[in-house]
Homo-oligomer: A and B are copies of this chain.
Amino acid sequence: MSSPNTPLDLSLDGGALTALLVDLPSVSGDEQALADAVEAALRELPHLTVDRFGNNVVARTDLGRAERVLLAGHLDTVPIADNLPSRVEGDLLYGCGTSDMKSGVAVQLRLAATLAEPNHDLTFVFYDCEEIEASRNGLGRLAAERPDWLAADFAVLMEPSGAVVEGGCQGTLRADVVLTGTRAHSARSWLGDNAVHKAVEVLRRLSDYAPRRVVIDGLEYREGLNATRIDGGVAGNVIPDECRVHVNFRYAPDRSEEEAAAHVHEVFAGFEVTVTDTAPGALPGLDRPAAQAFLAAVGGEPRAKFGWTDVARFSALGIPAVNYGPGDPNLAHKRDEHCSLTAIAEVEARLRAWLTGA
């Protein structure tokens, strides 16, 4: 794997540059080496102004263009799962972060290095801690602490979208459903009240849950309500007095955060429900002029974004934003995560055409 001091050679093609980024591990919370390398490479480029805040790096042109376009990507990955260093098989580059989303970061860096005279002013944002709790998200921290750095007329978030424009994003809400009972020795179980057995009704409602599909601006969103974790019990001979079911609700952007929370409370009516984490979705907004111009330039049929992404943060800042990146969203967070080298080149070429065309 690359040493933390390996300089990033931005003259490499997008695939080779992705491999270099992947081989410089940057699990959430541990992005400093990669942020240093990105900052150093960008500071070599005379047409860009570079700023840094924590492990977030922002680079800008200042050409006085009528409009400013922002290209954003996160530097972190989920934990490595025996899938480093990267390796190439035919057209596919395998490894942790190939899809989500160092291929997108590589395209950002390639465009930053080569577009000295774009037709819009450009802002490139590289940020940390996207894969963990929302409170640590680098883009969120920039929006709170350095909002002027994010000023733009339109934003492209380069999360994996299969080289197709994905509109908006779904919201996400986490909650704990807590069952309580009474401890007793398991040899005299009738003196206790088993909290784990009570989870049967919670799991039945989850099993029976019929997730909604909803079409917004022509894009179909698919919701989901799932247990992501369950735990209960203290010892092999004790009737458990607590069981906790952690659920994750992914909801279409026509629900607000409040409506999503109310829905989860309604599904688990009669149970103790505590919302632990929540982030709103973003409506696709594909009817707006900036989005229409982008769609016309890069082509293809747009679709809905299922995963929560930071387009919701741009949406909250009043900046129209879409997801468009070379990674495959279905491979994110999997052991066999990989990305098509052709898709990396294609996304770079289409963005280049848009940002240099008339």
**With an 8 A cutoff between CB atoms, is A285 at the interface?**
no
Contact A250 B186 (CB under 8 A): yes
A190→B224 CA distance, assembly (Å): 8
Binds B, one of A109-117, A142-150, A229-237, A348-356: A229-237
Contact B190 A197 (CB under 8 A): no
Q: Mark A197-212, 1 if CB is under 8 A from B, else 0.
A: 1111001101100010
**With an 8 A cutoff between CB atoms, is A313 at the interface?**
no
A234→B183 CA distance, assembly (Å): 27
**With an 8 A cutoff between CB atoms, is A265 at the interface?**
no
Beyond A183-B335, A246-B233, is A194–B330 a contact (Cβ under 8 Å)? no
* A190 partner residues in chain B, CB cutoff 8 A: 222, 224
Per the CB 8 Å criterion, the residue count for chain A at the interface is 60
**With an 8 A cutoff between CB atoms, is A141 at the interface?**
no
Q: Mark A241-261, 1 if CB is under 8 A from B, else 0.
A: 001011010100000000000
**With an 8 A cutoff between CB atoms, is A94 at the interface?**
no
* A184 partner residues in chain B, CB cutoff 8 A: 330, 333-334
Residue among A78, A186, A234 with the most chain B CB within 10 A? A186
A231→B224 CA distance, assembly (Å): 21
Query: What distance in Å separates the Cβ of A246 from its nearest Cβ neighbour in chain B?
Result: 7
A170→B245 CA distance, assembly (Å): 32
Nearest residue (CB) in B for A100 is B185
Q: Mark A166-203, 1 if CB is under 8 A from B, else 0.
A: 00001010100000000111111111001011111001
Closest 9 CB pairs of A and B: A229-B233, A187-B307, A189-B224, A200-B203, A196-B227, A185-B333, A186-B248, A197-B207, A187-B306
Residues of chain A at the chain B interface (Cβ within 8 Å): 78-79, 131-133, 170, 172, 174, 183-191, 194, 196-200, 203-204, 206-207, 211, 222, 224, 226-240, 243, 245-246, 248, 250, 277, 306-308, 329-330, 332-335
